[in-house]
Structure 1
Amino acid sequence: MRRLRPYAAALLAGTGLVAAPALAQAQPQPLPTAGEQVAEPAPEPAPEPIEADEQVEEEVEISAPGSEGAEIVVTGRFIPEPVRNTAQVVSVLSAGEIARTGDGDIAGALVRVTGLSVNTNGFVYVRGLGDRYSLALLNGLALPSPEPLRRVVPLDIFPTSIVSSAVVQKSYSVNYPGEYGGGAINLTTASLPDDNYLTLGVGISGDSETTAQLGYTYYGSKRDVFGFDDGTRDLPGALRDNDGALVDAGVLENEDTLILQRNRQIPANFSASLAAGYGTDFGDTRFGAIASASFSNGWKTRGATQQTATAGSLVNSSYGVRTENKIQASGLLALGLDLPQGHKVRLTNVFIRDTSKVARVRGAFENIQTPFEDLEDDRLSGPYDSLNYESSYVQRQLFTSQAVGEFEFGAIELDLRGSYSKSDRDSPYERTTQYRYVGSTGGYAVRLGVPTGVIFSALDETVWAGGADIGYDLTGIVNGKLSAGYAYSDTARTFQSLNFVYDDGGAPIAGTGQSYLPIYLLLSPELIDFEDITLRQVNRAYGQAQYGGDLTVHGAYVRADVEVATGLRLEAGVRYEDAEQLLTLPDLYGNNPAGAGNAAVITKANDYWLPAATATWNFAEDFQFRLHGSKTIARPQFRELGTIPVLDVESDRVLAGNPFLTDSVLWNAETRVEWYPARGERVSLAGFFKSLDAPIETIATIDAAGTLQVTNANAPKATLYGVEAEVVKYIGLEGLGDALAPYRIALSANYTWSKSKLKVGAGDTTVLFPGNIDSPLIAPATQVFTDGSPLTGQSEHLANFQFGIENTDRLEQLTFLLTYASERVTSRGANTGGVLDPDIIERPGFNLDIVARQGFEWPGFGEMELKFEARNVLGRGHIEFQDYGTGRAAINNYDIGTTFAASLSAKF
């Protein structure tokens, strides 16, 4: 764990800043702008005085893989940011900058970083590349994901209260894992406190679409309000021990998870937090501990229009109201020792639990099959063809325990780190009940069979990770450092899904009086016996109920970081990475065509040499020019490989994997100019280029019922290129009178323009999964992809603007935050009848947030902070569509509303 401390050394005209070592680096082996060795003072001119406000710099704590870099003096007065101190292209959010945004989770805060956007599920896109190209680390170590749909961890589960800093590294360095596409996001948790403290906080919030509005709920269990089930949703033994045969439907009666209720006054959101820090000295050794805990209970209602279309005709159209009750709890315990001779030991434990309880009512017009130009409004009016009542309960949990040791032995530095992490996702009693409209009676009757039923699913994933890095200072030979390291990670995942539907036992009840009863009455013991209603498992086909995944990676690197000429620094190295990825499909029900009971094991074993080099030229005082090139990879994620169809409740579409996916290889290049005109200010301009071999793209399919599904396939090639610019400026108001003297205006703006193109030729092919693991479908790539189309997830324009006024003497801030992301493809259009449908497009648009923070003293309560927030002030909604020219299909459109929040914290 390294910390960047305030600079207080004298500045010598015509020389570099002379200061203590920079202890925190955004990239693990960077070359700080200040060296430990004090430059010989020049007799002329005299040292230039430093203004008092220039000496006050926030400490930035960063823990990342790799040993600390060499110490090279760089000319320039305004040195304090890790962004300038590293050889790589990075963006850093310090604790203070995170607090200024006011975001409750780190995903929201990262939206403000140049070139970053976040989708609705909390996954981060770096420079337009989807979440599958982002690498998320905690204190430099890998994390498991509690999501069955992805291997990367959603960053919205990390409260900002446990994060000390967030570093986004956009250029690759060999001390990082080779699976590095768009960039790496390294979160650093707090470590040793400088002072003892205790902080308590409470908050309340609500939004215009949810709070005190109509929504749907269900009882569940007594402990749901705390995010824990009391056993109500345990899988019944009759199902757990069954081989897939018919089961009496009474085992899943469980009315508390079945009956939906209208709630016309959805409550407001509540949150509470506690944090404490303690430090003490034992001679030359300092011991410290930091503990924090947070809890929140929030609500979100969405009224969504969802349509499917193909070949220019509308197929289905539905409208549903979905209410989610999300309960989040997190805890952090960090212990640290600062030993003599610069040795440091850190132990960090993080626990995060995220529970989502959802109820939804949806009405649908089905089998419309009408071209858009012939569509009449009355076709989408009157009684719905079907009504779906749905409920779910998803528990996500993440625990990680990490140990980090940093040791100095003269010219040798040794870093050791290891971790054990475990994540779980349990989704018991994911229920759907469908009622069909019966024209002859004017009523709705229960439809037994698909989709009326219940799904149980469970995911378990563990990650063991470790690494060792050693660095040797070359002082006396050359100004630089040699380093080498080894890293190991083993990720094991198991996912199981049991999908049951209600059957009428061969004696159809459709049209009888009982079929018009609510489902909870129809499933009463008397009617179950009378109508012979049973449960039937529908996902008994081979590879449809369970899969196991394992990814083992060994990596080793060597790197040199030297000053090759005055003001010119070169970091170059190579990483060797060997990986084996296994996907195991057990034959639970004896359906394997290759032999009953035989499990299929798909093995992907590859090794790569991954070079990287970055040159940094300090061509003028406070200016730097960087040039970077590297090769990286992106492996298929378990969910992209797994064959089990899974419903993504947020996008309301079924995702099915493709076990025939292959690794993607990326070639990366970047050039960048940076200028630091004043303390804390910066101006940068960068250009970047990426060439991708076999990029993995999301593609849509339409099943026989007109339901939208998505899967994945390798496109032949793609390119991505663009430019990004950033400006940070502070304007003092001391010239406007004594009353405004302590205030300053804080301005920050960044913009990214990027362009991507798929390259698809007439002879190119792609491999699809037709449902049989033994028979891959090799299809012409032109039947799946369109040459020149953008990569999924890539926005051509990304922009962020912050305007704030703040008091430099005390905590008093008012900040306006405006973000913009242009249209991006969420999945390729389906191939229907040999013709590709238009791509599915998301339009994020503009978003305006306002955050106000006020600090004050309260006798007996210490330091207080009052915060007010207004989010999505412009009322931006979620828009996702397909444009056929003659009309648009609203794939997933809903209003988000404006959120208002207030919180109060006290520090003792």
Structure 2
Amino acid sequence: MKKAIFTLTLVLTALLGNAQDGFLRGTVVDQDYGEPAVNATVEIEGTAIKGLTDFDGNYSITLPAGTYNVRYTMFGMQPVVANVTILEGEVTIQDAVLQSGSQVIGDVDIVVQATRNSEVGLVLERKNTSNVMDGLSSQTFRKIGDSNLSGAIGRVTGVSVQDGKYVYVRGLGDRYTKTTLNGMTIPGLDPDKNSVQIDIFPTKTLENVMIYKTFSANLYGDFTGGLVNVETKSFPEVPTTQISVGATYFPAMHFNSDFILYDGGNFDWAGFDDGTRAFPLSQYEDVPANPTYPRSTDLTNSFGKTMAAESALALPNFSLSFNTGDQINTENVTYGYNFVMNYQIQNTYYDEYVSNVFLKPVGSENYELFQDEGREGNLGQRSVLWSALGSGAMKWGTNSLEVLLLHSQGGESSASQRWSQNYNQTGALLREEILTYTQRSLTNNMLIGKHQLDDNWKLEWRNSFTVSRVYDPDFRTTSISYTSGSPTLSVGDGAGINRFWRDLNEWNESFRADVSRNYGEGGKVSFGGVVDFKSRDFVIYNANFRRRETSNISEDPNWFFEEENIFSDVNPDGTYVRYNFEPSNAFTSSQNIFSAYVLNEHYLSTRIKAIYGLRVEQGLMYYTGETQPGPSYEQFNNANTLNELNFLPSAALVYDLNESMKLRASYSMTLARPSFKEKSAAQIFDPLTKRTFIGNLDLEQTNVNNFDLRYEWFFEGADLFAVSGFYKTFENHIELVSFQTAPDNITPRNAGSSTVFGAEVEISKSLEFLAESLKNFKLGGNFSYVESRVDLHSVIVDANGQTEFELRQANLRDGEELKEYRPMAGQAPYTLNLNLNYAHPESGLNLSAAYNVQGTFLAIVGSGRVPDVYTVPFHSLNFNAFMDFGEESRHRITLGVNNALNGERHNVYRSFRAQDETYSRFLPGVGISLKYGYRF
């Protein structure tokens, strides 16, 4: 104890003794490799003070307040001298780039960053990388003021954000976009998606975000459109502690007297169900086929009583965040830490939420679609999302070790009141009341080690363990028929009371090791591998409720579970439960991925660099479960449903046209594997849309050939111009398809042969070249045009071998011409991102505007008389303004406008010479946000 107190006293004394000193920190980069310069000398001219960079290229020197010339040197490189000013108790950041061909000497009094956390540094990274790559730096996040990644990443070329949280690259859907955290795969809050929900990442703790658009052997093989790698800070350059609080007001939603919800659990505010929604029966409960007292009475009474939506107060959306981080330098060891916690609650209301089913009419001479089902009503939702991320790191000598813990928790309750009508078969008119709650959680622990073995050899290893859960406790649906005018529970009309529970648990353990060696002039060889183990348990419980007397009922859904209306010896016509566990509603799956790679890069001449490698991936999937009872019933016990050994080559050439221009060409093979849900026998019903997802155990993985060509022109600073072309061929592309006989059922299906080709243009430029008065303005924009084609002759639609071409031909309208190809589902034909930023450093004012849109794309492939479903463009225009003020600019006020054009989310059925008909539609509304932040 005495020893600990003595040590603490020494540390405090050292800290107090340096209270009047400042810190000089930064990163030195080797221009030849575009990587950190290891063991570069940082010397304070006129003094005996000097230091060496570590294997990350970082250095930290304690200096008294004053102005100094700092000299950066390294064997074989030209020295760089910078003039810096050190202030008492503050950190001054000064980075340097060492070049072999020229000497860079300059007197600077401001921070000029050149590392990956700055805009200039990120451009340098893009300039030296072997891949076609885009990205965002932490400096960009600070400039634009977005608090989480979902708001910022839409500024990247060819990138769009769906539902405010999922990234699409080059218009390709989630299946072909992969998200990693610090180079490791982790499942998101929706494990059925390949990309992680990016709004869980606060920008304050991010070093950078890299979007790789071309594959090389050191990257994961299961991406095609893009790989988004989110990199967190290990060693913050400056000590930072911040807190912010904000609110967003949607006039059409908040303080709306029509807002509805339902009385849920006590911990809904924290994203947890408190247990009151738990399934009250055992999995194999013996429920009598005919109601008996007291058994049926007790079982029915064990269920929650609330079945009706209630009026509620919809307050503006609220957010709260806190973060702190710093690095501590001792003689031999440097420590770094970060902690951030975000909390947000959102109230959403749609008063005209529409969901329909339309079909093509019988007879080829008829064009207009006719309505089979129609649903319209009100939907209220309250969602909570909070995340906490903590990391600690230490580095000594040529080694570093970092541990990171991330937890994200979300809960969403919803209530819907709507009218539903069948126009084709029963003609039934139903009033439906639907109550749902979904709990999502993710916990990830990551351990990262980096070791510079000598001047040329480097070893990095990572281990990641993730547990995720999606829990849907007690989805409650009450459907009352008004077909005859008065309310009934007529089963023939589709009326009834249904409740179900879903529980998905997933575990993911991954280990990765990478070894690299630099050689010659700009040469580098890398090799390594990844082992990934993933497993999932999934189960559904369904309970429905009946009454012997289906008429003489109340319109109030709560009425059915009132004590006096439940089946008993005195009320034989009352409500009673029916339940039988269906084995087809439970399955267990696992996936094992083993991969290894080798990658080499070297200069063929002074201007041409070659990068080539091979990645080998073994993918295995296993399934335990049963299909639905019937003639084709099957049972699976750890059946091997996927066994693929893939050799994935990659090759690229980079030609330096001059010091500021590059030309890149590349070829690679990648793949996309079906998800657990897709490659299953599960049937998953969505009570809000009344649509059922049906798995497909026969799905095969998708194999992709990728060709890319890119020209880049790097201007001064972070400005650049780039134009790209790409061509991709797909074998067994996976699409969602409607059933011809059951249009509300959708299933994934392989689509045979497909191609995608397109071009991208990007520009980022300060407007100072137009006029000196515009020096604080910066314009950024990018446009992607993509054309996709699926060969209809290669798509098999049924067990008889019928092709999609033959099926479409049989349902042509008069005068309609059937082409050999159609667009690929999920592929947008174009993406446009525009952004304008104004920054005035003296006043602390920053203004930005961002516009994003995707072209109309095929969302769900039709079948027979079921027409195709398309997503129409959503024009997103957002404004953001913030100002820093007060002592040392510690205060920040941020004002924003979301969806300024009041665009709507709209999916439509589309058919030849027919008017577009609504598949689903809702209006997000215009939001006005205000946030205050304080930096301690």
Residue aligned with 2:276, SS: coil
Among 252, 260, 267, the alignment partner of 1:223 is 267
User: In structure 2, how many angstroms separate the alpha carbons of the residues matched to 1:789 and 1:596?
Assistant: 34
User: Offset of 1:858 from its aligned partner?
Assistant: 4.7
Residue aligned with 1:879, SS: strand
1:386-535 equivalences in 2 (<5 Å): 386-410=430-454, 411-439=456-484, 442-447=485-490, 452-475=497-520, 479-504=522-547, 507=548, 509-511=549-551, 513=552, 515-529=553-567, 530=571, 531=573, 533-535=575-577
User: Offset of 1:355 from its aligned partner?
Assistant: 0.8
Among 803, 816, 825, the alignment partner of 1:792 is 825
Matched length: 829
User: Offset of 1:235 from its aligned partner?
Assistant: 1.7
Among 349, 365, 378, the alignment partner of 2:421 is 365
User: In structure 2, how many angstroms separate the alpha carbons of the residues matched to 1:113 and 1:895?
Assistant: 26
Residue aligned with 2:472, SS: strand
TM-score (norm: length of structure 1): 0.85
Report the counterpart of residue 305 of structure 1 in structure 2: 354
Report the counterpart of residue 65 of structure 1 in structure 2: none
Equivalent AA in structure 2 for residue 760 of structure 1:
L
Farther off after superposition, 644-653 or 109-118: 644-653
User: In structure 1, how many angstroms separate the alpha carbons of the residues matched to 2:712 and 2:359?
Assistant: 49
User: In structure 2, how many angstroms separate the alpha carbons of the residues matched to 1:631 and 1:733?
Assistant: 42
- Mark the CA change 1:592 to 1:243 in structure 2 (over 3 Å): closer, same or farther: farther
User: Offset of 1:97 from its aligned partner?
Assistant: 2.2
**Greater Cα radius of gyration, structure 1 or 2:** 2
User: Offset of 1:456 from its aligned partner?
Assistant: 0.2
Report the counterpart of residue 755 of structure 2 in structure 1: 719
- Mark the CA change 1:432 to 1:35 in structure 2 (over 3 Å): closer, same or farther: farther
- Mark the CA change 1:585 to 1:224 in structure 2 (over 3 Å): closer, same or farther: same
User: In structure 1, how many angstroms separate the alpha carbons of the residues matched to 2:514 and 2:733?
Assistant: 31
- Mark the CA change 1:595 to 1:658 in structure 2 (over 3 Å): closer, same or farther: closer
Among 809, 814, 839, the alignment partner of 2:868 is 839
User: In structure 2, how many angstroms separate the alpha carbons of the residues matched to 1:166 and 1:417?
Assistant: 18
User: In structure 2, how many angstroms separate the alpha carbons of the residues matched to 1:249 and 1:831?
Assistant: 47
Report the counterpart of residue 31 of structure 1 in structure 2: none
Report the counterpart of residue 890 of structure 1 in structure 2: 918
User: Offset of 1:122 from its aligned partner?
Assistant: 3.0
- Mark the CA change 1:420 to 1:369 in structure 2 (over 3 Å): closer, same or farther: same
Matched, 1:323 2:380: yes
Report the counterpart of residue 127 of structure 2 in structure 1: 84
Report the counterpart of residue 782 of structure 1 in structure 2: 805
Report the counterpart of residue 332 of structure 2 in structure 1: 284
- Mark the CA change 1:755 to 1:139 in structure 2 (over 3 Å): closer, same or farther: same
Report the counterpart of residue 400 of structure 2 in structure 1: 344
Output one character per residue of 1:363-392: Cα deviation in whole Å (capped at 9) or x when no partner: 12322579xxxxxxxx9xxxx911110011
Residue aligned with 2:224, SS: coil
Equivalent AA in structure 2 for residue 333 of structure 1:
G
The answer as to whether partners of 2:144 and 2:846 remain within 8 angstroms in 1 is no
- Mark the CA change 1:795 to 1:18 in structure 2 (over 3 Å): closer, same or farther: closer
Instruction: Please provide the CA RMSD for this pair.
Output: 3.3
User: Offset of 1:804 from its aligned partner?
Assistant: 1.6
Report the counterpart of residue 930 of structure 2 in structure 1: 902
Report the counterpart of residue 546 of structure 1 in structure 2: 586
Output one character per residue of 1:779-835: Cα deviation in whole Å (capped at 9) or x when no partner: 434356774211111111111111121024464210011112110111101323xxx
Matched, 1:877 2:890: no
User: In structure 1, how many angstroms separate the alpha carbons of the residues matched to 2:519 and 2:612?
Assistant: 15
- Mark the CA change 1:659 to 1:105 in structure 2 (over 3 Å): closer, same or farther: farther
The answer as to whether partners of 1:294 and 1:331 remain within 8 angstroms in 2 is yes
Among 745, 752, 757, the alignment partner of 1:709 is 745
Output one character per residue of 1:648-680: Cα deviation in whole Å (capped at 9) or x when no partner: 578663221111000111000000010111101
- Mark the CA change 1:216 to 1:35 in structure 2 (over 3 Å): closer, same or farther: farther
Report the counterpart of residue 333 of structure 1 in structure 2: 390
Output one character per residue of 1:560-595: Cα deviation in whole Å (capped at 9) or x when no partner: 1111210211111001111111122158x9x58799
The answer as to whether partners of 2:467 and 2:507 remain within 8 angstroms in 1 is yes
- Mark the CA change 1:845 to 1:231 in structure 2 (over 3 Å): closer, same or farther: closer
Farther off after superposition, 802-811 or 319-328: 802-811
The answer as to whether partners of 1:458 and 1:497 remain within 8 angstroms in 2 is yes
Farther off after superposition, 274-283 or 750-759: 274-283
Give percent identity, aligned residues only: 21
Gaps of 5+ in 1: 26-33, 63-76, 371-378, 769-775
User: Offset of 1:467 from its aligned partner?
Assistant: 1.0
Residue aligned with 1:526, SS: helix
User: In structure 1, how many angstroms separate the alpha carbons of the residues matched to 2:802 and 2:164?
Assistant: 31
The answer as to whether partners of 1:88 and 1:173 remain within 8 angstroms in 2 is yes
Report the counterpart of residue 200 of structure 1 in structure 2: 243
Gaps of 5+ in 2: 1-24, 39-52, 58-71, 81-99, 290-294, 361-368, 809-818
The answer as to whether partners of 1:178 and 1:577 remain within 8 angstroms in 2 is yes
Equivalent AA in structure 1 for residue 856 of structure 2:
E
Residue aligned with 2:875, SS: strand
- Mark the CA change 1:46 to 1:161 in structure 2 (over 3 Å): closer, same or farther: closer
User: In structure 1, how many angstroms separate the alpha carbons of the residues matched to 2:33 and 2:796?
Assistant: 55
Equivalent AA in structure 2 for residue 695 of structure 1:
H
Residue aligned with 1:111, SS: helix
User: In structure 2, how many angstroms separate the alpha carbons of the residues matched to 1:140 and 1:48?
Assistant: 33
Equivalent AA in structure 2 for residue 622 of structure 1:
S
- Mark the CA change 1:848 to 1:18 in structure 2 (over 3 Å): closer, same or farther: closer
Report the counterpart of residue 71 of structure 1 in structure 2: none
The answer as to whether partners of 1:871 and 1:900 remain within 8 angstroms in 2 is yes
Output one character per residue of 1:753-801: Cα deviation in whole Å (capped at 9) or x when no partner: 010000122xx45366xxxxxxx67543435677421111111111111
- Mark the CA change 1:24 to 1:664 in structure 2 (over 3 Å): closer, same or farther: farther
Farther off after superposition, 15-24 or 125-134: 15-24
Report the counterpart of residue 735 of structure 2 in structure 1: 697
Report the counterpart of residue 779 of structure 2 in structure 1: 747
User: Offset of 1:232 from its aligned partner?
Assistant: 1.1
1:377-392 equivalences in 2 (<5 Å): 385-392=429-436
Report the counterpart of residue 140 of structure 1 in structure 2: 183
Matched, 1:107 2:155: no
Among 239, 258, 269, the alignment partner of 2:307 is 258
Report the counterpart of residue 113 of structure 2 in structure 1: 57
User: In structure 2, how many angstroms separate the alpha carbons of the residues matched to 1:831 and 1:7?
Assistant: 61
Report the counterpart of residue 374 of structure 1 in structure 2: none
Report the counterpart of residue 167 of structure 2 in structure 1: 124
User: In structure 2, how many angstroms separate the alpha carbons of the residues matched to 1:143 and 1:578?
Assistant: 19
Equivalent AA in structure 1 for residue 469 of structure 2:
D
User: Offset of 1:219 from its aligned partner?
Assistant: 0.9
Output one character per residue of 1:165-208: Cα deviation in whole Å (capped at 9) or x when no partner: 22110000111121122111111122222233321111111213
